[in-house]
Amino acid sequence: MTSEHVNPATRLLLNTPMQERINAIRRDRFIPYTRGKVVMEEMDKIMLTPSAVRAQCLALVGASGMGKTAILDFAQRRYVKLLGEEARRRLVCVILAQMTNDRRLFYGRILKSLGIPYRKDDKPDFLHEQVIDALRDAGAQVLVIDEFHNFLGGGVKAHLSEHMAAIRDIANIPISIVGSGTGVVETCILADDQLEQRFSRYRLKAWEESDDLRDFLATWESRIPLKLTSELAGPVLLPLLMRLSRGHMRRMMNLIKLAAELAVITQAERITEEILRQAFQQLSTVSKGYAEKEISNTSEKGAKNG
């Protein structure tokens, strides 16, 4: 049985126990693709070059599940590997999982990331100065803010200018700001004239059938420990993947992962149309209405294509 369709590292997993292969399939991984490479090149300019007088800032903009956080996670792991502990000093990461109009929550997340004690009831201006001093003393070079759109807490713009003024002050240390979030990020950045000029924006959109997607899927397949070729980028599975996922990055990856897992369990050893549809059904059980709608759309398209 040939195994030329997988890379050497994956080939070593083909004869391991089932659970070990399933664990490998479930593992999160970053697959390089054109848009992601462009963003990583910009990240490298920010992270691997000396601080500039005028810090570069970068925003990743896109709907949920388009790969923004995956790029940031990969960047963090990559810089730790390249720079060791130096990366942890240069790169400060915070997540605005939920935001109100209180700046103290933002400051608290930065101070917590730096391991610096603080009092939640301190005045925002005091915490602001504490954050500026802490980032400068730590020698931080980049502040990564995931879920940047939450600066517009509850869609209320009343305090947005204050939040963006705080970001501008941090950038003036100088520290580069890398933010990711939904399209609302644009609204946040536009609230401050200086930030609007500093931020380069990269928009991550849904996949379309293209050579870039085919290369991405071929690379992904080479890292899936299945003994037979699935041809994810071929004329049969690619259109089906597009229909079931609507080009949504996270949904497509979840489909492939579960389908690969089913291929191992059933000993099919490759992803087929039937297995891919079965994976879709399982992923859709939490949202039956969505599944019915998606299947209906798929059937209609199939009828038209026939």
Tokens of 91: 């790169």
Q: Give the angle subtended at the CA of 63 by the CAs of 300 and 186, to the nearest 5°.
A: 135
Structure tokens at 107: 């400051």
- Report residue 106 CA to chain centroid gap: 21
0.85 exceeded by pTM: no
DSSP 60: E
Q: Give residues with Cβ within 8 angstroms of 87, minimum separation 6.
A: 76, 79, 80
- 3-class DSSP state of 51: coil
Alpha-carbon distance 56 to 45, whole Å?
A: 9
Provide the H-helix boundaries in 114-236.
124-138, 160-171, 184-190, 193-198, 211-221
Q: Say which CATH class 34-203 falls into.
A: alpha beta
Long-range pairs, 103-108, Cβ under 8 A, ≥24? 103/127, 103/128, 103/159, 103/162, 103/163, 103/166, 106/151, 106/163, 106/166, 107/131, 107/166
Residue closest to 90 by CA, chosen among 139, 33, 34, 40: 139
Per-residue pLDDT of the chain (306 residues; tens, 9 = 90+): 567 899 999 999 999 999 999 999 999 888 888 888 899 999 888 887 766 666 889 999 999 889 999 899 999 999 999 889 888 888 999 998 776 678 899 999 999 999 999 998 999 999 999 999 999 999 999 999 999 999 886 656 778 888 999 999 999 999 999 999 999 999 999 999 999 999 999 999 999 999 999 999 999 999 999 999 999 999 999 999 999 999 999 999 999 999 999 999 999 999 999 999 999 999 998 655 334 444 444 443 443 444
